[in-house]
A and B are shown apart, each in its own frame.
Chain A
Amino acid sequence: MLKTKDLSYWYQDASQPLFKDVNLEFEVGQSYAILGHSGTGKTTFLSLIAGLDRPKDGEIFLGDRSLKKIGLTNYRRHDVAIVFQAYNLFTYMSPLDNLLTAMAITNAEHAGDKAYAGQILRDLGIGEDLITRNVQHLSGGQQQRVAIARTMACDAKLVVADEPTGNLDEDNTNAVIAQFQKIAHDQQKCVIIVTHEPDVAAQCDHQYRLENKQFTQLA
């Protein structure tokens, strides 16, 4: 589904890349974990495959079409959904409005369908009383679940998550990872999670470690 070809990225000095000539493939119905220490370039890699930035060298293909051809804005709108460590919800909206807004922007199939959005939230444990409450009044775990619900409400086949459990306790962490697994397996989406926690990575179908500018698949 998603393929990187000789992907490289550096900030100022091309001789000191964060990673170089990365060739990876990601498939639908699978979950992937990218492990690595802080500063190794995991998030940067995620940004590139999420279409938030452009690679310095190499290309990314969605199917057989390069992201350059698709256009990053189009790609973000239709093909990828992102979950951030800081949740990145619209703080002036309720969970329901957050979902409806995302659905409208991405032209999702169920755009405008309040019942559909509400059902996703309820499935993720956001009770009826919380659905219309401002998201700032929700706990961290609840906000992260809303962020996950937002990716589910959109029709994107690729879901990328940057340290989605970074701010959560153990129970919430397990619940969130289980949810990602469900998205990958039940909804047949490709889920790529960047994490520094081996326990979280271990729950995914595939694990890669970014070390010395290269990705290594873990057994």
Chain B
Amino acid sequence: MNFCKRAWLNVWAKKGRSILLILVSAAILMFVLAGLLIRSAAIKATNQAKADVGATVTLSANRQAAFKQMRKSSSSSSSTSSRPKLTLTPVKLSDATKIAKLSNVGSYNVTSTTSANAKSYDTVSTSTGMGGSNSGGPGGMKSGSSSSGDTQIDGVTATSLTSDFSDKQSKIVKGRGITASDKNTNHVVIEKELASQNNLSVGDTMTFKQTTGSKTTVKVKIVGIYKASSSSSSTAGPMSTDPSNTVYTSYTLANSIKGSKYAGTADSVTFNVTTPSKVSSVKKAGNQLISTSKYTLSTDDASYQTVKASMSSVESFANKIVWLVAIAGTIILALIVILMIRERRFEIGVLLSLGEARWKIVAQFFTEMIMVLVVALAIAGAGGKFVGNQLGSQLVSQTATTTQTTSTTSGQPGGGNQGGGQPGGQSGHTGGPGSSSNSTTKADTKLAITVSAVDLAELGGFGLAITFLSIMIASGGILRLEPRKVLIS
């Protein structure tokens, strides 16, 4: 191991040169590490985001088929006086249960929306400044002939499963939200504004009046108070009920307010797909369980696709960085090592004249470079995270901007639920409980850059490969010569 001692003596004796080599190697390794970190973080973030963002499949009435049926009946009808009616079949919960049992389907949220009139309380009025105020009224499109009340009732399986709550646009400020255990109860969660206006609190009761049928009153118990974000509140249009008048209940209570014929049904059921990439297969399997002439299964994996596209772009860029830096690093380091070794031709000649094996001479240079590399690796390990963080966040913000611009200009208008024509007078307010939102995408595409032992080992491997290649290129020419030629030249 005499070559190791020689390597050490050389590195130590030529401190200035060694420090310069360390700095150059550290700079190269730092960029390689940054690339490796961004790549591994992008892969990790993609997987995480895929899992977090999720995708949904929504079971609802088949509006297209219903329109078709309506046109068909109107053309066959001889009477011209009666207007054709759009008849949507409510989703059967038994069908939803079957779909929920499919693989890759996680939780599901039943949505049944209706409206009622306030009896024991006053609704919140919205002054539009455009010709008076309204305290409710019909929200958006309505189906059939059902009349609408001033209070919107969103029947759900659990409030936490609705996008308003999961996206933190609404949050419980007192009491609790609706959960699956509230099924078949008269528990409700009301908005903070509505509560304070009527001096209502958790534990109090309030009374609605049905808008259709026998118009009986329904007494409900407040179990929680939520606060809707200002942006969510401001989405109410001039003809819609004020968002503060939205009351969350279990879907069973919403159904009973709609009428007895709606028992065991829902406007829509949203299934969360645990593996977003399997959305299509879930939809395909689900379609075999339902009557597609009455119902439709629609998918929403826009967030997943956005994240996937964004992260794929970051990953591919990181790959390019790794290769570019590795190639550029190899060339730079090889040139430096070539110059360094050419300077040491004389020493090589002396070693050869002493009978030193050629491989041991290469091993000496390699050992010297490993000593340099170890220190450079430590520096790169410390600095790589910083560079990776800067580069990663820059990259993500650029990619996110590009993706958002693309989705704004060519994407579908997201957000609104399919509420327009739902049975039972579902109002069409923006972002209903069953809708999914793209707003989570940006938050999920953050890159968590951390330097792990595996990253450092990978970097060390890269460094060794670069060094070995450089030394072989540099010393190959010299070592092929006879010692005399080396010494003479």
User: Contact residues of A with B, CB < 8 Å?
Assistant: 47, 50, 52-54, 73-78, 82, 84, 88-93, 97, 101-102, 104-106, 134, 154
A12 vs chain B, min Cβ distance (A): 14
B356 and chain A: residue at smallest CB distance:
A105
A42 vs chain B, min Cβ distance (A): 13
**Whole-angstrom CA separation of A82 from B352 in the bound complex:** 11
Q: How many residue pairs, one in A and one in B, have C-beta atoms under 8 Å apart?
A: 62
**Whole-angstrom CA separation of A78 from B354 in the bound complex:** 9
**CB-CB contacts of B317-359 with A at 8 A, as 1s and 0s?**
0000000000000000000000000000011011111111100
Residues of B within 8 A of A78 (CB): 355
Contact of B357 with A53 in the complex, beta carbons under 8 Å? no
B347 and chain A: residue at smallest CB distance:
A90
Interface: B308 (CB within 8 A)? no
**Whole-angstrom CA separation of A47 from B5 in the bound complex:** 28
**Whole-angstrom CA separation of A168 from B146 in the bound complex:** 118
**B346 interface neighbour in A73, A88, A106, Cβ under 8 Å:** A88
Contact of B355 with A75 in the complex, beta carbons under 8 Å? yes
Contact of A52 with B13 in the complex, beta carbons under 8 Å? no
* Stretch of B21-29, B390-398, B477-485 with 4 or more beta carbons under 8 angstroms from chain A: B477-485
**Whole-angstrom CA separation of A53 from B351 in the bound complex:** 15
**B351 interface neighbour in A50, A54, A105, A134, Cβ under 8 Å:** A105
**CB-CB contacts of B353-368 with A at 8 A, as 1s and 0s?**
1111100000000000
B120 vs chain A, min Cβ distance (A): 96
Contact of B487 with A76 in the complex, beta carbons under 8 Å? no
Are A73 and B484 CB-contacts (below 8 A) given A90-B347, A92-B10, A105-B351? no
Interface: B2 (CB within 8 A)? yes
- Residue among B354, B357, B482 with the highest chain A CB neighbour number at 10 A: B354
- Residue among B10, B352, B483, B485 with the highest chain A CB neighbour number at 10 A: B483
Contact of B355 with A77 in the complex, beta carbons under 8 Å? yes
Contact of A53 with B356 in the complex, beta carbons under 8 Å? no
**Whole-angstrom CA separation of A202 from B176 in the bound complex:** 113
Contact of B9 with A97 in the complex, beta carbons under 8 Å? yes
Contact of B354 with A77 in the complex, beta carbons under 8 Å? yes
A104 vs chain B, min Cβ distance (A): 4
Contact of A76 with B354 in the complex, beta carbons under 8 Å? yes
**Whole-angstrom CA separation of A1 from B322 in the bound complex:** 60
B419 vs chain A, min Cβ distance (A): 82
**CB-CB contacts of B176-195 with A at 8 A, as 1s and 0s?**
00000000000000000000
**Whole-angstrom CA separation of A52 from B354 in the bound complex:** 10
**Whole-angstrom CA separation of A74 from B356 in the bound complex:** 9
Contact of A84 with B355 in the complex, beta carbons under 8 Å? no
A76 and chain B: residue at smallest CB distance:
B355
Contact of A92 with B9 in the complex, beta carbons under 8 Å? yes
A84 and chain B: residue at smallest CB distance:
B487
Residues of A within 8 A of B356 (CB): 77, 105
**A82 interface neighbour in B346, B353, B357, Cβ under 8 Å:** B353
Residues of A within 8 A of B484 (CB): 47, 52-53
A88 and chain B: residue at smallest CB distance:
B350
**A74 interface neighbour in B2, B9, B355, Cβ under 8 Å:** B355
Residues of B within 8 A of A102 (CB): 354
**Whole-angstrom CA separation of A53 from B482 in the bound complex:** 6
Residues of B within 8 A of A105 (CB): 2, 351, 354-356
A50 vs chain B, min Cβ distance (A): 7
Interface: B6 (CB within 8 A)? yes
Contact of A106 with B482 in the complex, beta carbons under 8 Å? no
16 new A-B contacts, CB < 8 A, other than A53-B484, A84-B487, A89-B350, are A50-B353, A52-B483, A52-B487, A53-B485, A54-B482, A73-B352, A73-B355, A76-B355, A76-B483, A88-B346, A88-B350, A90-B350, A92-B14, A101-B6, A102-B354, A105-B351
Contact of A101 with B2 in the complex, beta carbons under 8 Å? yes
Contact of A88 with B13 in the complex, beta carbons under 8 Å? no
Contact of B2 with A88 in the complex, beta carbons under 8 Å? no
B487 vs chain A, min Cβ distance (A): 7
**Whole-angstrom CA separation of A89 from B349 in the bound complex:** 11
Residues of B within 8 A of A84 (CB): 487
A81 and chain B: residue at smallest CB distance:
B354
Q: List 25 A-B contacts (CB under 8 A).
A: A50-B353, A52-B352, A53-B483, A53-B485, A54-B482, A73-B352, A73-B355, A74-B355, A75-B355, A77-B356, A88-B346, A88-B349, A88-B353, A90-B6, A90-B9, A90-B347, A91-B347, A92-B13, A101-B2, A102-B354, A105-B2, A105-B355, A106-B354, A106-B355, A154-B354
Are A88 and B487 CB-contacts (below 8 A) given A52-B482, A75-B355? yes
**Whole-angstrom CA separation of A75 from B353 in the bound complex:** 10
Residues of B within 8 A of A47 (CB): 484
B486 and chain A: residue at smallest CB distance:
A52
**Whole-angstrom CA separation of A92 from B6 in the bound complex:** 9
For the complex of A and B, the 3 pairs showing the least CB-CB separation, nearest first, are: A77-B355, A92-B13, A76-B355
A144 vs chain B, min Cβ distance (A): 14
A38 vs chain B, min Cβ distance (A): 14
Residues of A within 8 A of B350 (CB): 88-90
**Whole-angstrom CA separation of A206 from B179 in the bound complex:** 111
**CB-CB contacts of B445-489 with A at 8 A, as 1s and 0s?**
000000000000000000000000000000000000011110100
**Whole-angstrom CA separation of A92 from B17 in the bound complex:** 12
Residues of A within 8 A of B355 (CB): 73-78, 105-106
Residues of A within 8 A of B10 (CB): 92
B10 and chain A: residue at smallest CB distance:
A92
**Whole-angstrom CA separation of A90 from B14 in the bound complex:** 12
B255 vs chain A, min Cβ distance (A): 89
Residues of A within 8 A of B13 (CB): 92-93, 134
Residues of A within 8 A of B346 (CB): 88
**Whole-angstrom CA separation of A76 from B13 in the bound complex:** 27
Residues of B within 8 A of A90 (CB): 6, 9, 347, 350
- From residue 242 to 269 of chain B, which have CB atoms closer than 8 A to chain A? none
B6 and chain A: residue at smallest CB distance:
A101
Residues of A within 8 A of B14 (CB): 92
**A73 interface neighbour in B5, B357, B485, B487, Cβ under 8 Å:** B357
